[in-house]
Every structure is written in structure tokens, then in C-alpha cells.
Structure 1
Amino acid sequence: MPGQWNLDRVDGPRLDGYFSPPECLCGKGVHVYVLDTGVRLSHEDFAPSTVRTESGWNFVGDCTAGGGTVEDKSGHGTHVAATAVGATSGVAKCAVLVPVRILDENGKGDGGAMLSALDWVADHDINGARKIVSMSVGGPRSAVIDAAVRELVHAGVVVVAAAGNSGEDASGTSPAGEAAAITVGSTGCEDFGDSFGPSSTMSSTMSTASCGGPDAMSDFSNRGAAVDVYAPGAGVRSAWMTGDRDFRRSSGTSMATPLVAGCVALYLEKYPDATPEDVARAIKSSATRMRGGGGGAEDAGVLNPVGMLSTPPAATLRR
């Protein structure tokens, strides 16, 4: 599908407006847990849902339909999930989505729901499949949340977290500030500028837009030593919750995070026994310099999926 500039950045240096999966990988055998506002599972990007999704869980207290209901009333979770695994919008088109609702329709939640969700992921095993947690969420720095993330990573789960959208140091929030997580900042396309502010949305009027210009760190993106990698997060087109064929553009480190999670799924398909530490090492060692400037010498590089996939792990995960 033309116009998805974030996907165009995944498949190599040639910017033609289209997405070709690197090495024909698609995340087969990998489960991506999206901790967010829920997901519109009937959306065509997740079809057939009986094959491409698993039952998730709802940790939001205002839900009256039971713990397994993950209906998205915000749009944020659907957008994020489709960027990771969507048939049209996503990177890892064969990975399985496991939706976990921890935020309400206003994008609000609490640390208790996040902690319960992380514990649930740790205990939730689906035929021994590799697990990735995509967390486009954040809150004040919490030792308890950080410890839960470390335990997941120690157990072999890759945790990918959004850096945040305040233009500040990411180290002051959880889970972004936790070193065990892969923390993701946002880049924008020079063709678009940063007219897309964090969490902004734009309808299909730009559905055919593509990016031929260089990228730069998004003005809104959190930064600093806690950020491990930057990825396209401004003006990202993905599925939306208002209808089964609806798509929207949205911006934020929330949009960059699932792109990295999807690329991790490709990596784990190619190297199914790679440790989370080796995944992080492959991402950071292959990252490229910010093409359009906007980052200092101390800042992390930009996601380079082709280089990442060419960086084999040094260790083997003990299952």
C-alpha cells in the first residue's frame, strides 16, 4: 500500500513508497502483546481474526462485559496494534496479536493495571511461542513497574516501550526509563514536517502521502540516554476503531514503538532462540545516524531493520 512512509523505512534504503518484507520474513511463530486501549478485532487489518489474534484480557475497571473484552473505544490501541501486525498497516503480517487493555477510552490508566497486565503476560503461554510486549504507554517512574519489566525480559520476553511525547528526558518515566526495555523515540519525515503533533490524528486526506525526504527527530519526542533507538512516528497511517475499513494518521512515540515491535517479530522468526539482550544489541549496533539532523552526538540512532536482521545473536535463549 503506497503512502505508509514508516513501512517504507523498514525494507531498505530505496524509498519507493511501498513495503517489501525484508528477507520475506513476516513474524511467523511470534506473539505480540499490545498493552493499550484495546483493539477493534473485527477490523480488516486483523482478518481473519480467528487465525491472526488470540484472546487477550481487560484490566480496566470500568469494563462491565468481563475480563476478556478488549473493545477499543479510543482508537489508539487499534492503531498501535495494526502498525505492529496489520495485514495492510503492519510490519509482521504473520505474527499473532494478543490484545491487553490497560487504558480507558480517554487513554487513562493506572500503575496497578499495568502491573497486573505484565504479570498476566508472564504467566500466559501459547504453545511456547516467543513473546513481545509493545507498550505505547507511560507514567511516573515506578520501581515496581521497572522490576516487572526486568522479570519479563529475564524470562525471555522482549519489551518495547514508547519514550514519551514531552520533548524531555525519557529516564523519568516507566517503563521507558527501565534499561531492560527497548525504548523508542520518534522521527518525522521532512516532507511532512512535524505538523502532526503527538497523538494528533488526520483522516484519509493524506492517505496517499509518501516520504522521499530525510528524517529528523520529532520535536515532541522524549530523548536522552534511556532511548535505545528512534523510528518513524509522525504522520503514521494505520487502522482506526471507527469502522472495519477505517484508517487514520497519528503521531507520537506510540506510533514508533509498534514498528520496532514488528521488526523484533521478524528478528525472532529468523533467530527464534535469540535472547532479549541480543535483540536489543542487534537494534542498537545496526542503527544509522539521524538523516535529517535534530539529534546530538549522544543520541541513539535510527532503526535499521535490514542491518538488524543481518546481526545474528551471540547467545541462545534457555527455554
Structure 2
Amino acid sequence: GASATLNGAAVLALTKDKDVGFVSQDHVLTAKFDPAQGAGTLTTPGLVGIGVPDAWTQYGAIGRGIGVAVIDSGIAPSLDLAGRIVASVDFTTGAPGEPLVAPADPGGHGTHVAGLIGGDGTASAGAYTGVAPGANLVDVRVIGAGGATTVSTLLRGMQWVLANKATYNIRVANMSLGAAATLSYRNDPLATAAEVLTFAGIAVVVSAGNSGPGETTVTTPGYDPFVITVGALDDNGTPALDDDSLASWSSRGPTALDGIAKPDLVAPGRKMVSLRSPGSTLDQMYPDRQVAGTDLLAPAYFRMSGTSMAAPVVAGTIALMLERNPSLRPAQLKHRLMGTATPLAFGSPNTTGNGLLNVSAAVGSADSASFVPTNPVSDGFATEMYALLVGQAIAWRDPSYNGGVDSNGVLWSDITWDTIAWNEITWENLSWDAFNWAGITWEEVTWEEITWETTSQNVNILGGARGWVLVN
């Protein structure tokens, strides 16, 4: 036999050649993840224990067509993600927001996160498959190779996600990152941006942080009441639940300045095997963390620990839920995740939240109720958005101010926002340039979600507040 690229006339000539038995089109073939087969090959203990294979086989959901934005350090090409990295943009360069010619991950963190969300296990014969192997990945690079960024860079990346929501059907945003909470969430720019995405219909999943075991250590934007905040469980290397424990470094609530119970739930996050970014900063620093797939000479995987690894497990679960029911809003998704979580014998609302993620129960939940936080929206969101939506600045009358308009001494908790239906507002045309962030000091964001099984706890390997933070 032979193959060739031919025009119509040449094909016709071949059909008349007595030495040619038949002519057949050279079809393009694509690998398709089989839920039933995949359920039998997945070996990651934590994912097996929380019911990922059960969700695949019972409901056939693998996240088909759901866009998940990975707001991180980039996503390196991989066989496990072939054809499903639908967009890549970079906000860490001199021309922020430029589309990348080819996906890349100089840091090595974002690729690992992406694999936990949607890797299909091609390079490991299914052993290291992610939660939603049919989901599309949207690569939003906001963190450099050294593991640090600024709040303003993150805001630009989040704005891009909002503006491109419809183009890539972005329904989930994973943020495995955090900064120390120095303000109330009501005044925090990252919390405000996370709320904007949430009210626009994008479920925002955030890692709790790796500053445990102390209390009040949940980072921003994970301390916002509207996002889905995830702590890390140590599965002890087995799918059984009776030997599980809360990872010692997983951040605890309540939130430092607002007293909100966090995290919302926990998911496996210790010694998780996912995709490797060859030649990245982490890959070069810790070659002993490389894990081989089917090709023993070119390891395709990497081992990491942290709430950064727990968050994408939840993000992938949401992709499965949305494939089954695309009409679910972020509040409904959060309600289902928390309502179906497996209660744990250890922990509390400020350490393990509602319990351990139960993937099969969450995907199978028929509960349509919404989770409604009792906390108000952030002041930054309320003050700036009101003028954009209503056309005039917030004004109220205080009898003690001679009947005039006064904004002094009035608490936001006293204001009722019932007349504004946030979920019915279209946010696609929103520009962060319309926000007034005067007086905000842009703090450096440390990639404190990166953790390793090292003998030295809380060691910043790159120095200062800008680098990788390692914990046991």
C-alpha cells in the first residue's frame, strides 16, 4: 500500500489503473477517552477514593466541551492534553495578553494543575488521568518562571477570562495561588475580581494556602465567601478513607479579618502525580520528582503536594457536573459540592469545611438549590459596580446631614442590595479600567501553594517574597 496527497483528477486516474485494487481516504483519527476503560486503569489513590472512576462509569461525564481557565504559570504541550489546549495567552511579558504561538510553562506549576483537571492519561496508559479528561483547557499565564506575580497582572488575566468567556465556553476558573490577607475581603482587589467572575457565571475555584497548621491562614482570594475554597487532604497513599488526615500545611480558617469559616471542602493534595513541564524551573530543581509513564526514558509526569493540587481536583469535578447540566450557576455548583461532601471524623468547619469532595455524589446530585453566602459583596465591587450598572454613584440620605447626601459613617452592612439582581447582569463588556483602585498598594503574590516533601519546612528557595515556598 501507499499514501499520497492527490487532487481530484489524480484520484480519478488511480481508480482506472488496473494495478490499483482500491482507493481509500486517509482519515484523521483522534483518541477518545473511554470512561469505562479509564475507570479500570486509573491508579491515583486519592482520585479513586473520592469516586472519580465511579462518576465516569455511572454518568459517562468527562467534561466534554467545558472550558476551564487555568490562571497560572502556563501549560506545556502534552500527549495527555492533545487538541484540548484551546487558547494560550501570556500576561508576564512586555506585551501582556498576547496569544502564544505554542503553549509553554516555564515554571512547571500550571502544567501539573492542568493535568489534574483534564489529563487523559495517554502517556501512562490511563494510570495518571485527571478528573475531567474531556474538558478544554484555557491557558492564562500570569505567573513567571520564578513563581511570583503581582495583583495587577492577575487582574489583567482575570479580565481576559471574562472577556473571552463565550468564545471558549469558560465555565470554571482555577486559581492555585494566593497572597497574604492583609485587608478585609470587602476591600481586596483580588476578591472583587473573583466576585465579578462568579456573578458572570464562572465558578472560581481557589486553593486555601499552605500556611497551616495555624488558624486564620487562608490566603486571598480564597478567603472571599463567594469563591470555592479548597483545602488539602493527605490520602496516605491509599484509596481507603479510614487512614486519611488533613495535610499539616493546609491553611485553616476562620478568615483573618472577616471571621468567615474556610475552606469550603477538602480534596486530595499530597504527593499527587500529574503532568511534567520538561526543562521548567521546578523540573530542573527537583529532577527526583519526575515520574515515568509508558516511556521510561522520558518521564511525562511529576509529583507535587499542596492545596494547589487539591483545587484542580474540584475544578475538574465541576466540569463533569456542567457537562451533565450546563445550566448550573456557580452558587448551585458550590451548594452541590458542599452538600454532597463526605463528612470526616476529624476536622471542623475551619479546617476541613463541609468534608471531603465526593465526585460521584456531586455529579449525580439533582439538588438545584443555591448556596447563598450571608456575607455581603465586597465594598470594592459594590461601590465601583453600582455606578457602572445604574449610571450614577451610590447616594443615600442621612437625616442627620440636613437631608443631604452623605457617604460618611455609613456601614456597608447596613445597605440592602436587593434591588440589584447580580446574576442577571451581563459582564462581558466590563473593563477593569473603569474601576478606581486609588490607594491600593499592589502586594507581591507569592506562589505559596507549591509544596514538596522536603525536610525543611517553609523554605523559600528563591529568596524574599517572590519565589517558591516549600513545605513538608
AA aligned to 2:309 is M
Distance 1:220 1:68 in 2: 35
RMSD: 2.6
Distance 2:312 2:228 in 1: 11
Moved over 6 A (4+): 62-65
Distance 1:30 1:297 in 2: 30
Distance 1:221 1:236 in 2: 15
**CA radius of gyration, larger in:** 2
Instruction: Flag the 1:260–1:34 CA change in 2: closer, same or farther, 3 A.
Output: same
Q: Tell me if 1:231 matches 2:231.
A: no
Query: 1:127 deviation in Å?
Result: 4.5
Distance 1:169 1:275 in 2: 31
Determine if contact 1:237/1:250 at 8 Å carries over to the other structure. Answer: yes
Query: 1:145 deviation in Å?
Result: 1.1
Equivalent in the alignment of 1:205: none
Equivalent of residue 219 in structure 1, options 248, 264, 272 = 248
Instruction: Flag the 1:297–1:114 CA change in 2: closer, same or farther, 3 A.
Output: closer
Normalised TM-score (structure 2): 0.57
Equivalent of residue 109 in structure 1, options 149, 152, 155 = 149
- Measured against aligned partners, the alpha-carbon deviations of 1:149-207 in whole angstroms (never above 9, x if no partner) come to 111111111000000001044665211111111000000123x4xxxxxxxxxxxxxxx
Return 5+ residue gaps in structure 2 as ranges. 1-40, 122-128, 254-260, 280-297, 371-422, 427-472
Distance 2:70 2:274 in 1: 15
Instruction: Flag the 1:136–1:64 CA change in 2: closer, same or farther, 3 A.
Output: closer
Determine if contact 1:178/1:226 at 8 Å carries over to the other structure. Answer: no
Q: Tell me if 1:34 matches 2:70.
A: yes
Equivalent of residue 113 in structure 2, options 56, 68, 80 = 80
Equivalent in the alignment of 2:87: 55
Equivalent of residue 45 in structure 1, options 63, 68, 80 = 80
Q: Tell me if 1:185 matches 2:234.
A: no
Aligned ranges for residues 193-272 of structure 1 at < 5 Å?
210-212=238-240, 214-224=243-253, 225-242=261-278, 246-272=300-326
Equivalent of residue 118 in structure 1, options 158, 164, 174 = 158
Determine if contact 1:84/1:258 at 8 Å carries over to the other structure. Answer: yes
The farther-off stretch of 167-176 and 266-275 is 167-176
Return 5+ residue gaps in structure 1 as ranges. 13-17, 193-209
Query: 1:296 deviation in Å?
Result: 3.1
Instruction: Flag the 1:8–1:115 CA change in 2: closer, same or farther, 3 A.
Output: same
Instruction: Flag the 1:63–1:103 CA change in 2: closer, same or farther, 3 A.
Output: farther
Equivalent in the alignment of 2:454: none
AA aligned to 1:56 is S
Equivalent of residue 169 in structure 2, options 129, 149, 158 = 129
AA aligned to 2:117 is A
Equivalent of residue 339 in structure 2, options 273, 285, 291 = 285
AA aligned to 1:9 is G
Name the SS for the 1:109 alignment partner: strand
- Measured against aligned partners, the alpha-carbon deviations of 1:69-91 in whole angstroms (never above 9, x if no partner) come to 65211211100001001112311
Aligned ranges for residues 94-173 of structure 1 at < 5 Å?
94-127=134-167, 129-141=169-181, 143-167=188-212, 168-169=214-215, 173=219
Query: 1:289 deviation in Å?
Result: 1.9
Distance 2:221 2:49 in 1: 26
Query: 1:61 deviation in Å?
Result: 3.1
Distance 1:151 1:94 in 2: 27
The farther-off stretch of 158-167 and 297-306 is 297-306
Name the SS for the 1:81 alignment partner: helix
- Measured against aligned partners, the alpha-carbon deviations of 1:254-275 in whole angstroms (never above 9, x if no partner) come to 0000000000000111111011
Instruction: Flag the 1:286–1:19 CA change in 2: closer, same or farther, 3 A.
Output: closer
Distance 1:20 1:284 in 2: 17
Determine if contact 1:215/1:290 at 8 Å carries over to the other structure. Answer: no
Instruction: Flag the 1:216–1:255 CA change in 2: closer, same or farther, 3 A.
Output: same
Name the SS for the 2:251 alignment partner: coil
Determine if contact 2:70/2:174 at 8 Å carries over to the other structure. Answer: yes
Equivalent in the alignment of 1:15: none
- Aligned identity (percent) is 30
Name the SS for the 1:230 alignment partner: strand
Instruction: Flag the 1:136–1:281 CA change in 2: closer, same or farther, 3 A.
Output: same
Distance 2:221 2:367 in 1: 24
Equivalent in the alignment of 1:203: none
AA aligned to 2:341 is A
- Measured against aligned partners, the alpha-carbon deviations of 1:213-259 in whole angstroms (never above 9, x if no partner) come to 63111001012212101000001010100188510111000000000
